[in-house]
Amino acid sequence: MRSSFCPVLLPLLLLGACGVRGKFNLRICAFNLHSFGESKANNARVMHTIVRIIARCDVCLLQEVRDNRNKAVPLLLSHLNRYDSNHEYKVLASERLGRSPTYKEQYVFVYRTGTVTVTGQYQYPDTRPGDVDAFSREPFVIRLKAPKTAIKEFVLIPQHTTPTNSTKEIDSLYDVFTDIKAMWKTEDIMFLGDFNADCGYLPKKNRKNVRLLSSSSFVWMISDKTDTTVRESTTCAYDRIVVHGESFVRAIVPLSARPFNFQKEYRLTEQQALDISDHYPVEVLLKAGSPRQQPGSYMLLLVLLLLLVVLLPLPRLFPCLFTCS
C-alpha cells in the first residue's frame, strides 16, 4: 500500500517547526522566602525545594533575604546552576535595607542570562529633599531587556512592605513610578512583591488613598480573592503583581498571573511547606515575540527549500503534481 504522505508537505512541516522554535514565554516570579539565610541554605531538603521553585522562572525576585555574611545567596546560586545546567543563572542584590540596625533585608533578583539582560539598576533613596522616609525597605529597581518576548524591554520595581504601614508604602510606589518613568523614559513598568495588600493590613476604607489602586492605568494581575499564603488558617492576597503600560499589559499571557502552590505540586505537608516559606511565589508569563520579528527561522526555511530544489528532480520533490490523485 502506497503511503498517503506527500513530500510537498515537507516545506509546510519545516515552516511549522521553525514557528515552534521561535516561541518563548518568559516567566517572572516574586517569592518572599521568609528569613532566607544560612540556616535554610544549609538545610538540604529545604534548599532543594527552593531551587526547584526558582528554576521554573526566568526572572525571580526574592524577598526577606537575610544573608548577613553573604554565604546563603552564593550557595543558592551554586545549587541552582548545578540543578539546571541547561541555563546559566546570575543574581543581582540590593544593599541591606531596613530602619532597624539589627534587622536588614535584601532584594535579590535571580535571572537566566540567556533570556534577559540587565541594562540598568537604581536603588531608590531612603529619603528625598522635603520628603519623609516612605519605605522601610526602599525599592531596588532594575531594567531588563528580553529580546525574545513581545515587550522587549521593561522595568521591575520590587517592594516588601511593613505590614503595619502597607497602605502608605503601596501608595508611595507611585512616587517611585514617576521617578523611573522620567529617568528611563519608559511606561512599561511592573511592580511585584509582598505588598501585604489584603486582610487587616490594607482595609477597604484605605484603598481610596492608594494611587496604584485609584488610577486605572495600573493593572493588578493578582486578584483580591487569591490566596498567596501557605497556612490553611489564612486566606489573603498579600503578594501582588501590578503592571503599567498598554504594550506591557498586551504582552502578558492572559490568565497566567497566579500563585504557585509548591505544597501541592511537590506533595508537602503544611509544616514542610512552612519550612520553606509562609508565602507562595506569584508569577506571570510574558508572550513570545512575533515570528515576524524572528527572521532567522525564515532564512533557515529558505535555505532548506533551495537545497531541496537543487538536489532533487522536480518529479521527486513534488510528486503530487504528477502522480497524486
Domain region containing 11:
7-17+297-321
pLDDT in tens, 247-266: 999 999 999 999 999 999 99
Q: Would residue 160 show up in a list of annotated catalytic residues for this protein? A: yes
151 SS3 class: coil
Do 172 and 67 lie in one domain? The reply is yes
Q: Is residue 315 part of a domain?
A: yes
Q: Rounded CA gap, 31 and 123, in Å?
A: 20
Q: Is residue 1 part of a domain?
A: no
Q: Rounded CA gap, 200 and 15, in Å?
A: 54
| Given 64, 79, 105, 244, the catalytic residue | 105
Do 173 and 315 lie in one domain? The reply is no
Do 313 and 255 lie in one domain? The reply is no
The residues, ordered by sequence, that sit 6+ positions from 76 with a Cβ below 8 Å of its Cβ are 41, 47, 50, 51, 54, 91, 110
Q: Is residue 207 part of a domain?
A: yes
Do 85 and 229 lie in one domain? The reply is yes
Do 41 and 187 lie in one domain? The reply is yes
Of 74-78, 93-97, 167-171, 292-296, which range is least confident? 292-296
Do 12 and 61 lie in one domain? The reply is no
Do 81 and 149 lie in one domain? The reply is yes
Do 311 and 228 lie in one domain? The reply is no
CATH number, domain of 172, equals 3.60.10.10
Find cell 531541496 and name the residue. Answer: 308
Do 209 and 113 lie in one domain? The reply is yes
Phi/psi at 212 (nearest 5 deg)? -70, -20
Q: Would residue 105 show up in a list of annotated catalytic residues for this protein? A: yes
| Given 64, 79, 138, 160, the catalytic residue | 160
Do 12 and 66 lie in one domain? The reply is no
pLDDT in tens, 61-98: 999 999 999 999 999 999 999 999 999 999 999 999 99
Q: Give pLDDT, residue 203.
A: 87
Q: Is residue 317 part of a domain?
A: yes
pLDDT in tens, 126-150: 776 556 689 999 999 999 999 999 9
Do 186 and 172 lie in one domain? The reply is yes
Number of domain units in the chain: 2
Judge contact between 232 and 271, C-beta under 8 A: no
The residues, ordered by sequence, that sit 6+ positions from 221 with a Cβ below 8 Å of its Cβ are 240, 241, 242, 243, 252, 257, 284
Q: Rounded CA gap, 109 and 94, in Å?
A: 9
Q: Between 44-54 and 72-83, two packed helices, what is the crossing angle to 10 degrees?
A: 60
**pTM for this predicted structure:** 0.82
Q: Is residue 110 part of a domain?
A: yes
Do 165 and 32 lie in one domain? The reply is yes
